[in-house]
């Protein structure tokens, strides 16, 4: 124990303590004067860059979200437009089909009416021809039968009245 009291490990030398204190103060002053400000500036700059980076990232995220919403909106609008176009195309196709069906019906009705008209004309023509042949045969028959009693003019008059009677019946 004596060793500690007479200049051992725990002995205190005031001159040495004074110079340690002075050098510590000079070191602290030098640190505050030349070393701490650049370190603080570097830390401040790094903090500002990090803050700017975070703000840029937040802005980029916000912009990306806005673009995403706009894309979703555009996609929905495109789907609506596509459905509308599809619906219009179906309606146009149905309308075109109906027009063609209607046109075909009208053409068929016209062809049928033309055929009926032609048949009616042919029928009238055939009846007139038949009447003329019947009249001719009747005149010839009558001429043969009553050749001596009637002349040709009277016979023609009888045949014409007979034809008129036939026309009235039909």
**Per-run averaged pLDDT (10 residues), the chain, 170 residues:** 54 83 95 91 94 94 94 93 94 93 92 92 87 77 63 73 73
Burial class (CB in 10 A: 0-12, 13-18, 19+), 166: middle
5 falls within a domain: no
60 falls within a domain: yes
CB of 155 closer than 8 Å to CB of 139: yes
Q: How many separate domains does the chain show?
A: 1
CB of 157 closer than 8 Å to CB of 125: no
What is the predicted pLDDT for the residue at 2?
45
**Dihedral angle computed from the Cα positions of residues 150, 156, 161 and 166, in that order, rounded to the nearest 10 degrees:** 120
125 falls within a domain: yes
What is the predicted pLDDT for the residue at 129?
85
6 falls within a domain: no
What is the predicted pLDDT for the residue at 80?
94
110 falls within a domain: yes
162 falls within a domain: yes
149 falls within a domain: yes
Instruction: Give pTM, 2 decimals.
Output: 0.39
Cβ–Cβ contacts within 10 Å for residue 54, how many?
Answer: 10
1 falls within a domain: no
Residue 31 domain boundaries:
13-169
């Amino acid at each position: 124990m004596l060793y500690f009291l007479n200049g051992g490990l725990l002995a205190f030398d005031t001159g040495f303590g004074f110079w340690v204190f002075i050098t510590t103060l000079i070191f602290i002053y030098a640190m505050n004067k030349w070393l701490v400000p650049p370190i603080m500036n570097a830390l401040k700059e790094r903090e500002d860059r990090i803050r700017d980076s975070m703000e840029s990232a937040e802005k980029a995220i916000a912009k990306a979200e806005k673009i995403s919403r706009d894309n979703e909106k555009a996609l929905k609008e495109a789907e609506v437009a596509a459905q509308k176009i599809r619906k219009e195309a179906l309606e146009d196709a149905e309308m075109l089909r109906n027009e063609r069906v209607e046109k075909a019906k009208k053409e068929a009705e016209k062809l049928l009416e033309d055929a009926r008209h032609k048949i009616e004309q042919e029928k009238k023509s055939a009846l007139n021809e038949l009447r003329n042949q019947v009249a001719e045969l009747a005149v010839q028959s009558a001429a043969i039968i009553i050749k001596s009693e009637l002349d040709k003019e009277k016979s023609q008059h009888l045949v014409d009245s007979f034809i008129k009677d036939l026309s009235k019946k039909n």
